[in-house]
Chains A and B, each alone.
Chain A
């Protein structure tokens, strides 16, 4: 094939490289000796049922958790040895909210920009641009606690892009978003991917979304990667017509127990306590 552009002439490098990654929590092996890589400028989908090890893997890639074993590099920095350089290289939208409810939308953005050392004028300019893009600019001085789930999500997406990361991690970013916002968000991310070469690493439970936007897909289940390739390759491999069918054929049809964490426990305890007081 003829090279089409500059980026096709130079050999593509891997921006994320994971070798033999294992993570154990006590006796439970959440991630079991996985290896994969993501090319620079790629839109990569990481799929799997609940509890498969997706979030754990993302936490390790983003320096929030230490691996039990394995080597990981991101933007050619070793995640274990050089976490600060790694942290500069990525942005992340977490699965559950990570905004400060007591601050306004604008303050949350500003806080992020300062932490990532984005120069003041540039920071103000980008904050406005991004907040206009997610259509929250007219709500910039509202407290985040007054936002709906979808608005929080949009704000988090804007925030994750503020420092123009090389890689953006999106852990179920479109959960709870309406099709308009979802479409809008992906258009922006694809644009960013094209113009800035930003690598996009995302998880989702919407198979048609992965089918549409991901250039490559890895499927993880029970802590191991069971298949990877383009959507077409996965369909061919499983002899199915849609990615959804391919996914089900790879991971089976049993429903998985959802992961629960201490936050859930606390919310539950809070509910019980409030309920108990009603009487």
Chain B
């Protein structure tokens, strides 16, 4: 337990110390929120779908979380490059615990990113129905964050350097985000796109998020949470296995 805690603590310390990174990774979701939220708002309204900002906020919070989670998982590559990973790998600690500590740490910092974006959204006019929905929303953020941090760990355990990094951003993180229904409703889509959105785990995260915050659900909260939990457990399992096989 203590080893998980110290690894978690390390991630948090690193997070609070790199203020430029915190601010940098907030810029993108906020840009989406403001530019798209207000830019496409009138069109969305005319199409009879209601307030676009109200629709978009769960998606943009999801964006903040998926980006920072995947990247905090990928941080393992940095630790590999700059030697610190060796220090943890020679320690008499089970590698599963190392993986779990890191994942929880990364997920916690990503959830904080999500919360910051969420607070800013409320400040610029997002309406929350009740205090309890905010609590559920934060718990959901944590679940989504764990899922994608574990995904980042899986990727990082397979890479030796940052050269594959851009590939991951363009072919994994971006598609996961754009196909998740973060920006548009998932109803009435062309068949291929509809199919793609349904194999994207983030779709269920954003759908659950929207449901909790008083929006319309596409899949139903029960299905959302079931799928998210199953994928999270699977990813942690695969991540732990691959992490335990790392050789330097």
Q: Which of these, B6, B81, B86, contacts A262 with CB under 8 Å?
A: B81
- Which chain B residue lies CB-closest to A101? B82
- Measured between beta carbons, the chain A residues less than 8 angstroms from B14 are 100, 102-103
The answer to whether residues A64 and B81 also contact, given A102-B17, A266-B162 and a CB cut-off of 8 A, is: no
Whether A63 pairs with B161 at a CB distance below 8 angstroms is no
B153 to chain A, nearest CB (A): 18
Give the interface size bracket for B toward A.
20 to 34
Whether A64 pairs with B92 at a CB distance below 8 angstroms is no
Whether B6 pairs with A99 at a CB distance below 8 angstroms is no
- Measured between beta carbons, the chain A residues less than 8 angstroms from B86 are 64, 94, 98
Question: Within 8 Å of chain B (Cβ to Cβ): is A115?
Answer: yes
CA A114 – CA B2 in complex, angstroms?
7
Contact with B along A57-83 (1 / 0, CB 8 A): 001001111100000000000000000
- Measured between beta carbons, the chain A residues less than 8 angstroms from B163 are 269
Whether B81 pairs with A116 at a CB distance below 8 angstroms is no
- Measured between beta carbons, the chain B residues less than 8 angstroms from A97 are 82-83
Question: Within 8 Å of chain B (Cβ to Cβ): is A88?
Answer: yes
Q: Which of these, B18, B83, B91, B247, contacts A94 with CB under 8 Å?
A: B83
Whether A115 pairs with B93 at a CB distance below 8 angstroms is yes
- Measured between beta carbons, the chain B residues less than 8 angstroms from A101 are 82
Whether A111 pairs with B83 at a CB distance below 8 angstroms is no
Q: Which of these, A59, A96, A103, A266, contacts B83 with CB under 8 Å?
A: A96
Whether B83 pairs with A66 at a CB distance below 8 angstroms is no
- Which chain A residue lies CB-closest to B91? A115
Whether B161 pairs with A116 at a CB distance below 8 angstroms is no
Q: Which of these, A63, A88, A111, A262, contacts B10 with CB under 8 Å?
A: A111
Q: Which of these, B6, B13, B17, B83, contacts A115 with CB under 8 Å?
A: B6
- Which chain B residue lies CB-closest to A86? B92
Whether A103 pairs with B13 at a CB distance below 8 angstroms is yes
Whether A266 pairs with B81 at a CB distance below 8 angstroms is yes
Question: Within 8 Å of chain A (Cβ to Cβ): is B88?
Answer: yes
Whether A102 pairs with B13 at a CB distance below 8 angstroms is yes
Whether A116 pairs with B92 at a CB distance below 8 angstroms is yes
CA A101 – CA B13 in complex, angstroms?
12
The answer to whether residues A103 and B92 also contact, given A98-B84, A114-B2 and a CB cut-off of 8 A, is: no
Q: Which of these, B90, B94, B161, contacts A265 with CB under 8 Å?
A: B161
Whether B161 pairs with A87 at a CB distance below 8 angstroms is no
CA A265 – CA B227 in complex, angstroms?
40
- Measured between beta carbons, the chain B residues less than 8 angstroms from A64 are 86, 89-90, 247-248
**Which one of B5, B18, B86 has the highest number of Cβ atoms from chain A below 10 Å of its Cβ?**
B86
Question: Within 8 Å of chain A (Cβ to Cβ): is B187?
Answer: no
Question: Within 8 Å of chain A (Cβ to Cβ): is B49?
Answer: no
- Which chain B residue lies CB-closest to A87? B92
Whether B18 pairs with A65 at a CB distance below 8 angstroms is no
- Measured between beta carbons, the chain B residues less than 8 angstroms from A65 are 247-248
A18 to chain B, nearest CB (A): 18
Contact with B along A112-127 (1 / 0, CB 8 A): 1011110000000000
- Which chain B residue lies CB-closest to A107? B13
- Measured between beta carbons, the chain B residues less than 8 angstroms from A63 are 89-90
Q: Which of these, B17, B83, B91, B248, contacts A87 with CB under 8 Å?
A: B91
23 contacts between A and B (CB under 8 A): A59-B248, A64-B86, A64-B89, A66-B247, A87-B92, A94-B86, A98-B84, A98-B86, A100-B10, A100-B14, A102-B13, A102-B14, A110-B6, A112-B91, A115-B88, A115-B91, A115-B92, A116-B92, A117-B2, A262-B81, A262-B161, A263-B82, A266-B161
Chain A residues within CB distance 8 Å of chain B: 59, 62-66, 84-85, 87-88, 90, 92, 94, 96-103, 107, 110-112, 114-117, 262-263, 265-266, 269
Chain B residues within CB distance 8 Å of chain A: 2-3, 5-6, 10, 13-14, 17-18, 81-94, 160-163, 247-248
